[in-house]
Amino acid sequence: MSDIYLDNNATTMVDPAVFEEMKPYFCEQFGNPSSLHNFGNKVGFALKKARKQVQDLLGAEHDSEIIFTSCGTESDSTAILSALKAQPERKEIITTVVEHPAVLTLCEHLETEGYTVHWLEVDSKGRLDLDKYKSLLSDKVAIVSVMWANNESGTLFPVEEMAQMAAEAGVMFHTDAVQAVGKVPINLKESAISMLSLSGHKLHAPKGIGVLYLRRGVRYRPLLRGGHQERGRRAGTENAAAIVGLGKACEMAAEHMEFENTQVKAMRDRLEEGLLAVIPNCFPTGDPDNRLPNTASIAFEYIEGEAILLLLNKVGIAASSGSACTSGSLEPSHVMRAMGIPYTAAHGTVRFSFSRYNTMEEVERVIEEVPGIVAKLRKLSPYWGENGPVENPGEAFAPVYA
Amino acid sequence: MWDYSEKVKEHFYDPKNAGAVEGANGVGDVGSISCGDALRLTLKVDPETEVILDAGFQTFGCGSAIASSSALTEMIKGMTLDDALKISNQDIADYLDGLPPEKMHCSVMGREALQAAVANYRGEVWEDDHEEGALVCKCFAIDEVMIEDTIRANNLHTVEEVTNYTKAGGGCSSCHEGIENILTRVLAENGETFVAGGAAVPAPAAAAAKAPESPKMGTLARIRKIEAVLDSIRPALQADGGDVELIDVDEKSIYVNLTGACTGCQMAAMTLGGIQQRLIEELGEFVKVVPVAKESLVSMGA
């Protein structure tokens, strides 16, 4: 039996059709798109086509609003630092406590450089308080950066509404849409979003390619200066093959948008329902009514996520966890902590994230395997008795922490 | 994913002594604040001989926490309490063929659970004596609290000094920004400002002062030199109630026995690292300092 990949929020397989499309741009069409001759010229046309494909998926008004970068993180950094450089009199940033490290760590760093960062908190379902947000908008704010969808819980944020509120207050709005692009319909020309980041490898394009959408007319300062590539807004020779791949991937994502929101969603729902039905003391995290169609984040109480993942991996199932021990930092997931999930549950959070390559057969296999793994680990847990959690787990087991 | 040894996987997939021991008369409940893992160790001790007849664990934690718990119970069964207390966290890690630096705290937790369980058996109250912070130097597994304390205790001002005192930053050097940030913060407590010392770019190896070329030393001269280095370190160890003794020298491996208060000390691994560093400098060659208990060496037939 082949392995089951349910970690598509981490990265995705390059679609074979995407790979096919990329192949000529290594050994045959290797020219520099800036060159005048035939070698370069053809590549230039290929990039133009790819830019159009990205534009179509995002519903951007102009193809020149698409800037190719190296990854989502570069797009995020470029967007936020550009807003600060372009408006030096504005020293405040609004963001959320559940952002991806690409935004979170940058904002923490900017705090040490004298900027004021307003951190929007979330409730137990991962939702923001829009009144609080509105009260923070002012002419001191250089940029708002809020993710479209959370990578761990899949919870969607009302970024279009928030962008409108920012626009009314005269504030730039950036969204890290790395998890959302290709999974939920996006139509930027109808929105007030100033900037948007996306990452190729989350939607079946290769790693090492990203996009910054920059609305026409939004004041901008490049992160990388040098050549005239991307109209001088992102210098550096284009990663032509990857750009071509991303274009194809965007075209395919648009074609599969309905499938993603029906079939993929059905697999996710079946998995969640199947696991919740047979495993006691587990619950979905985030906002089940308002989330990505492909993501299920389930907290298994009284056990730890890394242990679950290792046992899943042993039976050929790949997922990921918000547990402390799966990240290099040992920090428990900031997203789970922000939602106020007790740590005996936050530690046992497992994220299953689907793609259009998964099948219902795989889902059924996972539903068969997980209960035994959870039971095995609970047998080892000091919080677990014969047939359920010990009475008053917090009192029955209260270790001395060091 | 972590690079776990086969031994760690073995103890995780098929843990030994899982569950609470029937009729336990010693229980230790401890947790690690750095990752939230926690462990209950139950012991059944023979009141006459103080031999550990049985040991069981229940762990809320990751793969290496479960493996460390399993290893610990295997190691201590049949030991007297006094012998069991001599087990250091490094011993637990060694038993598992090593743990990733980020995961060493799992073995520390095991050792603390043992101390707590023994204290519980003896009717004493166990108090934890160490604090753990975020891991800064991954090469030598040095955490933030250790660096902060060392800066304060020794009035350190540069990254280089921090490396000399704690080893942190002495390997790949990627944590230097982190160490500079800690220095900035700690120095600010006394109203001081951190100034990056020295050149911004290290001199290339060829230009850097070379370790003194040592003419090939005879075995006896070499051992005398090693003894001399250990003698020079000894006063510092004795000041903390510990000591070090040279057991054997086998080419590049120098076997030493840390005794007294060094036994089972949290800092033992660092102390050994420091000794190794000094020996490398003095001998002008790379050597490896290997900790051994004297008894185990004899039983190995060495």
Topology of the domain covering B6-121: Sufe protein. Chain: A (3.90.1010)
What is the model's pLDDT at position B201? 64
Nearest by CB: B62 against A313, A325, A328: A325
Nearest by CB: B40 against A310, A382, A402: A382
Nearest by CB: A402 against B40, B58, B132: B132
Mean pLDDT of the residues in chain A: 95
CB B111 within 8 A of CB B89: yes
**According to the annotation, is B139 in a ligand binding site?**
yes
Q: According to the CATH classification, is domain A257-384 in 3.40.250.10?
A: no
Picking from B4, B6, B35 by the largest number of A CB atoms within 10 A of its own CB, the best residue to mutate is B35
Decide if B262 is catalytic: no
Is B59 close to A398, i.e. CB distance below 8 A? no
Q: Which of B124, B123, B143, B122 is nearest to B132 (CA)?
A: B143
B134 in contact with A, Cβ within 8 Å: yes
Is B132 close to A401, i.e. CB distance below 8 A? no
The mean pLDDT value for B250-270 works out to: 74
Chain A residue whose CA is closest to B129: A402
pLDDT band at B287 (very low <50, low <70, confident <90, very high): confident
Q: Is it the case that residue B266 has pLDDT exceeding 80?
A: no
Nearest by CB: A304 against B13, B60, B128: B60
What is the model's pLDDT at position B271? 76
CA distance A292 to B175: 37
Where do the structural domains in chain A lie, given as residue ranges?
Answer: 16-255, 257-384
**2-61 in B: which are within 8 Å (CB) of A?**
12-13, 15, 18-19, 29-40, 57-61
Active-site residue, selected from the candidate residues A107, A250, A282, A325: A325
CA distance B138 to B133: 13
CB A300 within 8 A of CB A329: no
pLDDT band at B260 (very low <50, low <70, confident <90, very high): confident
Is B33 close to A401, i.e. CB distance below 8 A? yes
- Tokens representing B55? 């040991």
What is the model's pLDDT at position A322? 73
For chain B, residues classed under CATH 3.90.1010.10 are: 6-121
**Each residue of B200-213: b (16+ CB within 10 Å) or e?**
eeeeeeeeeeeeee
pTM of the entire structure?
Answer: 0.82
**According to the annotation, is B265 in a ligand binding site?**
no
Within chain B, where are the H helices?
6-13, 63-76, 81-85, 89-95, 104-121, 144-154, 159-166, 176-189, 219-239, 268-283, 294-300
For chain B, residues classed under CATH 3.30.300.130 are: 219-295
**According to the annotation, is B62 in a ligand binding site?**
yes
Percent of chain B with pLDDT over 90: 47
CB A126 within 8 A of CB A286: yes
Topology of the domain covering B219-295: GMP Synthetase; Chain A, domain 3 (3.30.300)
What is the model's pLDDT at position B297? 46
The DSSP bridge partners found for residue A214 are A195
Instruction: Tell me the ipTM for this assembly.
Output: 0.87
Phi-psi domain of A281 (left: phi exceeds 0; alpha: psi -120 through 50; beta: other) = left
Q: Give tens-digit pLDDT for A66-125.
A: 999 999 999 999 999 999 999 999 999 999 999 999 999 999 999 999 999 999 999 999
Nearest by CB: A306 against B40, B59, B63: B63
Chain B residue whose CA is closest to A378: B60
- Contact list, A390 vs chain B (CB under 8 Å): none
- Tokens representing B203? 């001199």
**According to the annotation, is B262 in a ligand binding site?**
no
CB B194 within 8 A of CB B181: no
The CA-to-CA distance between both ends of chain B, in Å, stands at 38
**61-90 in B: which are within 8 Å (CB) of A?**
61-66
Q: In chain A, which residues have pLDDT < 70?
A: 323-332, 402
What is the model's pLDDT at position B204? 64
For the sheet containing B38-45, what is the strand order? A400-401, B26-31, B38-45, B52-60
Count contacts between A and B (CB, < 8 Å).
103
Q: Which of A94, A176, A110, A102 is nearest to A142 (CA)?
A: A94
Decide if A325 is catalytic: yes
Q: Is it the case that residue B209 has pLDDT exceeding 60?
A: no
Active-site residue, selected from the candidate residues B7, B16, B29, B35: B35
Topology of the domain covering A16-255: Aspartate Aminotransferase; domain 2 (3.40.640)
Active-site residue, selected from the candidate residues B21, B39, B75, B106: B106
- Contact list, B10 vs chain A (CB under 8 Å): none
Is B61 close to A304, i.e. CB distance below 8 A? yes
CATH class of B135-189: mainly alpha
**According to the annotation, is B172 in a ligand binding site?**
yes
